[in-house]
Homo-oligomer: A and B are copies of this chain.
Amino acid sequence: MNATYKDVKSDILSKITSGHWQPGSLIPNEIELAETYGCARATVNRAMRELADDGLIERRRKAGTRVRASPIRQARFDIPLVRREIEDKGAEYRYSLASRSIETAPDWLRTRLQLGQGTDALHLVCMHYADGDPFQHEDRWINLEVLPQARDADFSQVGPNEWLVSTIPFSTAEISFSATLADAALAGHLGCQTGDPLFTVERATWFEGSANTFVKLAYRPGHRMTTRY
């Protein structure tokens, strides 16, 4: 009686995880569950809605609610600023700018971000250190047509990621993970061997429809990105 939505959620969850309600089977409807738990239907609804968001159950009007046959396993990663990633580990953060130049966007970048011909871009190469050791190499391109103020910004002290966060209120992004090989330049910056495998994150972000930046982040060898679900 008087169950909260969390009570309901965890009870249903345990019925699923224990196998009491088999994958594919139909769960009682909201009205019945509300009676069972002695609460309002809205309370059951919230519990079920969250379970559906988590990918554990599948709901359809009129058809009812079923335990998913194969639960969608979705992992949620927090992608923090490098500074926070390092400071959260209790290490001291240091930043340095390796190079800065203004170039017309190369073809691969124009394709990737759907830019017009002859678009100027600011190209930055930076390093992020944790307790003095190389942690992440950043290869950044900023679209100067959308962000002309980047031309005059000083990136020698503050990293472009932090500058962007404070300049652009919000943006949508496409992010992808892969593995790349350290070339001579990367190895030099990261203090590793040429040929080392590096975990790499690439991110393109858009603000109000037009691309503003693309970045390739290479982590030091051995880096892992971990999460639980």
Q: Which residues of A contact B (CB under 8 A)?
A: 16-19, 22-23, 56, 67, 70-81, 165-166, 169-181, 195-200, 207-208, 221-229
Q: Chain B: which residue is nearest A83 at the CB level?
A: B70
Q: Chain B: which residue is nearest A21 at the CB level?
A: B169
Is the CB–CB distance between B166 and A179 below 8 Å? Answer: no
Beyond A16-B169, A169-B18, A198-B197, whether A228 also contacts B76 by CB under 8 A is no
Is the CB–CB distance between A175 and B229 below 8 Å? Answer: yes
Beyond A169-B22, A177-B199, A228-B175, whether A75 also contacts B71 by CB under 8 A is no
The residue in A174, A176, A177 that gathers the most chain B C-beta atoms within 10 A of its C-beta is: A177
Beyond A18-B169, A169-B16, A169-B17, whether A224 also contacts B74 by CB under 8 A is no
- Distance between A102 CB and nearest chain B CB, rounded to angstroms: 26
Question: CB < 8 Å: which of B56, B74, B208 contacts A79?
Answer: B74
List chain B residues, Cβ under 8 A from A75: 76-77, 79, 175
Is the CB–CB distance between A77 and B78 below 8 Å? Answer: no
Question: CB < 8 Å: which of B18, B80, B199 contacts A72?
Answer: B80
List chain B residues, Cβ under 8 A from A207: 17
List chain B residues, Cβ under 8 A from A198: 179, 197
Q: Chain B: which residue is nearest A77 at the CB level?
A: B75
Is the CB–CB distance between B173 and A229 below 8 Å? Answer: yes
Q: Which 8 A-B pairs have the closest CB atoms?
A: A179-B179, A197-B197, A176-B226, A179-B197, A179-B199, A19-B169, A73-B79, A17-B170
A181→B172 CA distance, assembly (Å): 32
A-B contact list, 26 entries, CB within 8 Å: A17-B171, A17-B207, A17-B208, A22-B169, A67-B169, A70-B81, A70-B165, A72-B80, A73-B80, A74-B78, A172-B228, A173-B228, A173-B229, A174-B228, A175-B228, A176-B224, A176-B225, A176-B227, A177-B177, A178-B222, A178-B223, A178-B225, A179-B198, A179-B221, A181-B195, A197-B198
- Distance between A125 CB and nearest chain B CB, rounded to angstroms: 20
A224→B176 CA distance, assembly (Å): 6
A163→B174 CA distance, assembly (Å): 33
